[in-house]
Amino acid sequence: MATVLVLATNLNLVCTAMIVAILGAGPAGMSCANACLSFGLTPVVIEQSSEIGGIQLGNFHPNLWLLGEPEETGREMSVRMARHFAALPLSCLRNSRVTSVHGKAGNFTLQVETPTGKQSIHAGAIVLATGTYPRSTPGLTALAEQSPRVIIGPLSETIRDDILAARVLILGGGDNALDHALFLAERDNQIRVCTRRAFSARQPFQSTCRTNPKIELRHDCEPDDLQLEDARIVATWGQIKVRYDWLLAMFGYLPNSNVLNGFAPELKPALSASGHVIADAWQRTTVAGIYAAGDLTETPQPSVPTALAQGLVAARAAERDAESIH
């Protein structure tokens, strides 16, 4: 089993602690790392970006689902958690990514590219906590590359600060689409929300949007064409062309399961039809010694509290399973 020597000064003991490689430092990964320390495991966290905290770092809305700090925005919450995480006695590699994984439960070898070069990490267990990214289409991605007025996914500073008294087209019919429509309506914008089929957003969002004169909700309304013209967006429905100042695409999220690309074939956990990692109530995947937590898994209600709890459970499972790996 991959271990390090740990001096448990308060107990005046020297003991061995299994290394747990945690991929991703959002709420799930941070919570898992924190819990690993409680369970006597040694977490090593590998985060691809420069900032610790996960997707909520961009959330300028208050977090409605985490008890304790009702006024705190998602970003403030993430910064608070990241501050706690930074004070923990653990190793965290930022701007880093795993390029290959081999071995078996109790004895995995991960090759990691870091800003200072390649490193090998020997770990007894692996926890996947890489979350999700906003869904797009190739056409929309190309438009977004050409114009800062085309934005894929929610939670950007541009949406918060720059969209004022403008015509906005939002594509999508879920909570994010309607939540942003309401936010932008308060900033004197005129918004059309178009969804390909029916709206799936929570009923309170739908009814509030329907009574807001600045918001027009349209179902079965996918544009036939979207073009950039003089830095504006022209949407076409049949014979009708409408010019918008901003286009926001809010189609939901896809799991960051590409983290598994470098894993040996026998170490790739089973995925659901939507590409999420399948995990049981202990956050065990279909591969022994590999666990998954947070939005990367198929979770009935993805949220920060859910991710925190799943990270904790994954650490507990790794600790428990370590006893049987010999």
Ligand X SMILES: Cc1cc2nc3c(=O)[nH]c(=O)nc-3n(C[C@H](O)[C@H](O)[C@H](O)COP(=O)(O)OP(=O)(O)OC[C@H]3O[C@@H](n4cnc5c(N)ncnc54)[C@H](O)[C@@H]3O)c2cc1C
Q: Which amino acid is at 238?
A: G
Q: Among residues 124, 223, 289, 302, which is the contact residue for ligand X, using CB under 6 A?
A: 302
Q: Distance (Å, rounded) from C-alpha 294 to C-alpha 310?
A: 6
Q: Among residues 1, 6, 48, 245, which is the contact residue for ligand X, using CB under 6 A?
A: 48
Residue 102 β-bridge partners? 109
Confirm or reject binding of residue 268 to ligand X (CB under 6 A): no
Q: Among residues 20, 23, 81, 317, which is the contact residue for ligand X, using CB under 6 A?
A: 23
Residue 229 β-bridge partners? 232
Half-sphere exposure of 37 (CA within 13 A, CB side): 13
Q: 3-class DSSP state for residue 216?
A: strand
Q: Distance (Å, rounded) from C-alpha 268 to C-alpha 257?
A: 10
Please report, as residue ranges, which positions from 245 to 264 form the binding site for ligand X (by CB under 6 A).
256, 259
Please report, as residue ranges, which positions from 159 to 188 form the binding site for ligand X (by CB under 6 A).
176
Confirm or reject binding of residue 49 to ligand X (CB under 6 A): yes
Min CB(285)–ligand X separation in Å: 14
Confirm or reject binding of residue 29 to ligand X (CB under 6 A): yes
Task: State the CB neighbour count (10 A cutoff) for residue 156.
Answer: 16
Min CB(36)–ligand X separation in Å: 15
Contacts of 87 (CB under 8 A, 6+ apart): none
* Stretch of 84-92, 216-224, 280-288, 298-306 contacting ligand X, by CB under 6 A: 298-306
Q: Among residues 43, 54, 173, 255, which is the contact residue for ligand X, using CB under 6 A?
A: 54
Q: Distance (Å, rounded) from C-alpha 87 to C-alpha 77?
A: 16
Binding site for ligand X (CB under 6 A): 23-29, 46-49, 54-56, 59, 63-66, 74, 97, 129-132, 154-155, 176, 256, 259, 294-296, 302-305, 307
